[in-house]
Amino acid sequence: MLMSSKLAQKELEETSKTLETEAVERKWVQEELSVVYDALNSSVSGVIITNLEGDITYVNSAFLKIFEYEDKREVLNKNAAMLFATDEVRKFSDVQAIIDETRGETEEFEVHRKDGTTLPVEVSSSNVTDHKGRIVGRMASFVDITGRKKAQSALRQSEERYRRITDAITDYIYTVRVQDGQPVETIHRPTCIAVTGHSAEAFKVNPFLWIDMVHEADRNAVQQHADRLLSGAKVEPIEHRIVRKDGAVRWVRNTGVPYCDSERRLMSYDGLVQDITERKLAELALRDSERKYSTLVENSLTGIYIDQDGKITFANSRFASIYGYSREELLGMESWKLVHPEDRAWTNENRARRLRGEEVPPEYEARGLTKDGKTIWIYRRNSVIHFDGRPAILGNIVNVTEQKRAEEELRKINQELKNFVHVVSHDLKTPIISIEGFASRLLKNFEEALGERGRGYVTQINASARRMEMFVSDLLAVSTVGRSVSDFEDVSCLEIVENVLADLQDRFRERRIKVVLRDSLPVIHCDAHRIYQVFENLLVNAMNFLGDTNDPKIEVGYEDRGELHQFFVRDNGVGIDPRDHRRIFDMFYRTPESAKVEGTGLGLAIVEKAIKSHGGKVWVESERGKGATFYFALPKDPTPG
């Protein structure tokens, strides 16, 4: 009995010691767990602890925030499988498998929030053991990777957009990866074939293919460009030639953009190669054209200059020589200094109006001043151009000083000739009239005494005097018709022709000539005296060359030719050989048929000069034996000349 009591007491003491030890250990575990839980609650990752069956026994505050739960009691003692999307749970047999799958590593999953929406998270897990190393549960941490996923998605979209853009570009794009300042890899886009004729695969097979393609004359420049890129420097694009696969030489523009890390070490550079052959050929052609036209301008006999903002900004050698300056002296000079003071006001006004786009005569004459102060006459042709993006005057000039002097001399000579003709015609007409008068009186008073032979002599004297008077009158008409101009006025051509016919009616009646006058003759703006001379000479010419026609007829008519008045005088006489059509308008020219006709050979010359003074023209259509038609055309808006 005593023995039994002692054994019981001993067991009780051992049990008591065991309980005390367990109590100490439990207290120690609780203290240790308290520290762990405090650490877990301060974590930014969502953390859960489950037992071996997967039931949640602990959650931290970050977990509640990520999964949008308000109270931990909403998830405690519930199986962790509820957190994972259906597809994820199906992927593994149970939560333990998920935890085992992610132990020591991280894995991405889709999980459910409280409201059922999904969320991308990154999960990592580990076993939970007791103080004796026994596995008593599992711990998993959750990191919300929504922002990272969005960034990755945006990056993929950007890369895809960049890929599509670059694939759509026909320019050749490549990337050179660099390590320790040396190229280690070159990535070529498929567009390389459009520029080079070689595929991207060909560049992989032959890493030096691009260097081989560079035209021999440009290799040094391209190598220097590449060296500068490899040094990390930012360089300007280079233009050079390449030899395509098909042997064609093409011009390209090679652009390189370096990319460096945070320590400014070159990691890679992207290259863009554009085919610029057409532009380059156009530029070369333009330079050739500019050289050609520059040569033409510099060797021109015409002075060429550009006036911008009232100053000379360009002048060729001829322009400088005309004014006696060097080209350097002219550049920047105010252009008005080259104009005579008396002409500056109106030339400045012309320039201003021209620049405003107003109507100004493009050609004009004005006096200029040379470097040594001499006055010269300048003939100009000006137009508005754009020079360096702004309006300017492009001028062409010719020094017409000598021509002006010659014109002045000619004007003096013409005036002297005019005076001479008037004097001569007056001095010739006076004795001619006297001869005619004495011959007529001699014939009248001494007709019987003269006898038949004497009367014949006197008659011949009278006829010769009349021809001389006619010649002097025609010579005077020729000398004046091309020079003196009366005021132009509106005149009825019908009245002019009727007046001519009235003056010639006795001669027409004597020869029984029928004159047909159309009443369609218009009113025209002209010098009435000259047009009278035209119709008079044409009608007299037609009358003189009717010959022995049985039914002599002359017709005067008109046709409207748009901007021209066209008249004609037609006869049915002897006609004119086509070989003489042009020569009959020359002074003193007489056809073989003219031998039997009175005249001086000046009538048609007078007609031509009068018509030309109106800006018109005259011509004939005729054949021998078929009559002749003389046409003349006058502008409806003539300029006196």
Map 449-465 to HEC letters. HHHHHHHHHHHHHHHHH
Q: Rounded to an integer, what is the distance from CA 354 to the centroid of its chain? A: 22
Other beta carbons less than 10 A from residue 39's beta carbon: 11
> What's the rounded Cα separation, in Å, for the pair 586 and 589?
6
Integer Cα distance of 501 and 495 in angstroms: 10
Q: What is the pLDDT of residues 227-249, one digit of tens each?
A: 888 887 778 889 999 999 999 99
Q: Which of 215, 218, 216, 166 is nearest to 192 (CA)?
A: 166
CA distances from 614 to 14, 232, 307, 344, 570 (A): 153, 81, 38, 33, 22
For residue 172, which of 188, 183, 184 has the smallest C-alpha distance? 188
Q: Which two tokens stand for residue 350?
A: 């012309």
Instruction: Kindly give, in sequence order, each residue whose CB lies less than 8 Å from that of residue 547, ignoring residues fewer than 6 positions away.
Output: 573, 574, 593
* Average pLDDT rounded to a whole number, residues 146-159: 75
Out of 87-101, 169-183, 339-353, 532-546, pick the least confident. 87-101
Least confident span in 124-128, 460-464, 549-553 = 460-464
Give the residue from 636, 594, 588 showing the smallest Cα distance to 616: 636
Most confident of 130-144, 434-448, 481-495, 563-577: 563-577
| pLDDT tens-place string over residues 68-127 | 999 988 989 988 888 887 665 544 444 455 555 545 567 888 888 888 888 888 888 888
**pLDDT given at position 94:** 47
- The values of phi and psi at residue 602, to 5°, are -115, -10
| Distances 177 to 119, 212, 270, 323, 466 between C-alpha atoms, Å | 38, 20, 9, 65, 113
What is the DSSP pairing of strand 172-179 with strand 266-275? Answer: antiparallel
Cα Rg, the chain, nearest whole Å? 58
Taking a C-beta distance cutoff of 8 angstroms, is the pair 306, 391 a contact? no
**What are phi and psi for residue 524, nearest 5 degrees?**
-130, 160
Tell me, what's the pLDDT at 153?
77
First to last CA, the chain: 171
Reply yes or no on whether the pLDDT at 207 is more than 60.
yes
Supply the pLDDT for residue 325.
94
| pLDDT of residue 344 exceeding 90 | yes
| Average pLDDT of every residue of the chain | 80
Any idea which of 25-29, 281-285, 577-581, 606-610 has the lowest mean pLDDT? 25-29
CA distance linking residue 352 with residue 346, whole number of Å: 10
pLDDT tens for each residue of 488-520: 888 898 998 898 888 888 888 888 888 888 878
- Tell me how far the alpha carbon of residue 455 is from its chain's centroid: 88
What are residue 109's DSSP bridge partners?
Answer: 121
* CATH hierarchy code of domain 39-160: 3.30.450.20
Residues 145-167: b if buried by 16+ CB within 10 A, e if exposed: beeeeeeeeeeeeeeeeeeeeee
477 CA to centre of own chain: 57
When pLDDT is cut at 50, 70 and 90, the band that residue 421 belongs to is low
Tokens at residue 473, please?
């009158």
Residue 479: is its pLDDT beyond 90? no
Question: 150 or 629, which is more confident?
Answer: 629
> For residues 298 and 420, which has the higher predicted lDDT (pLDDT)?
298
Q: Which residue has the higher pLDDT, 413 or 391?
A: 391
Q: What is the DSSP string of 93-151?
A: SSHHHHHHHHBTS-EEEEEE-TTS-EEEEEEEEEEEE-TTS-EEEEEEEEEE-HHHHHH
* 37/24 Cα distance (integer angstroms): 20
- Using the 8-state DSSP alphabet, how is residue 486 labeled? P
Which residue's entry shows tokens 């992207």? 270
DSSP string, 343-399: GHHHHHHHHHHHHTT----SEEEEEEE-TTS-EEEEEEEEEEEEETTEEEEEEEEEE
Q: Does residue 109 contact residue 84 with C-beta atoms inside 8 Å?
A: yes
User: Which range among 106-115, 182-191, 283-292 has the greatest average pLDDT?
Assistant: 106-115
Alpha-carbon gap, residue 45 to 435, rounded angstroms: 145
Q: Is the pLDDT of residue 308 over 90?
A: yes
Strands 553-561 and 514-517 come out as parallel
Question: pLDDT class for 26, splitting at 50, 70, 90?
Answer: low
Q: For residue range 358-385, list pLDDT tens digits in order.
A: 988 889 999 999 999 999 999 999 999 8
Pairing label, strands 182-188, 238-243:
unpaired
Q: Is the pLDDT of residue 425 over 70?
A: no
Q: Is pLDDT above 80 for 294?
A: no
Give the integer Cα–Cα distance in Å for 408 and 380: 20
Judge whether residue 567 has pLDDT over 80. yes
Element (H, E) at 162: helix 146-168
In Å, what is the CA distance from 478 to each residue of 60, 291, 292, 483?
128, 53, 50, 9
The whole-number average pLDDT for the span 192-214 is 83
* pLDDT value at residue 93: 41
State in words which class domain 487-635 has. Answer: alpha beta
**CATH topology for the 308-397 domain:** Beta-Lactamase (3.30.450)
Q: Which CATH superfamily is domain 169-281 in?
A: PAS domain (3.30.450.20)
**pLDDT value for 90:** 46
Highest-pLDDT range among 76-85, 120-129, 133-142, 211-220: 211-220
Under a CB-based contact definition with an 8 Å cutoff, are residues 57 and 137 in contact?
Answer: yes
Six-digit token pair at 376?
């010269």
Predicted confidence at residue 50, as pLDDT, reads: 87
| DSSP secondary structure code for residue 487 in this structure | P
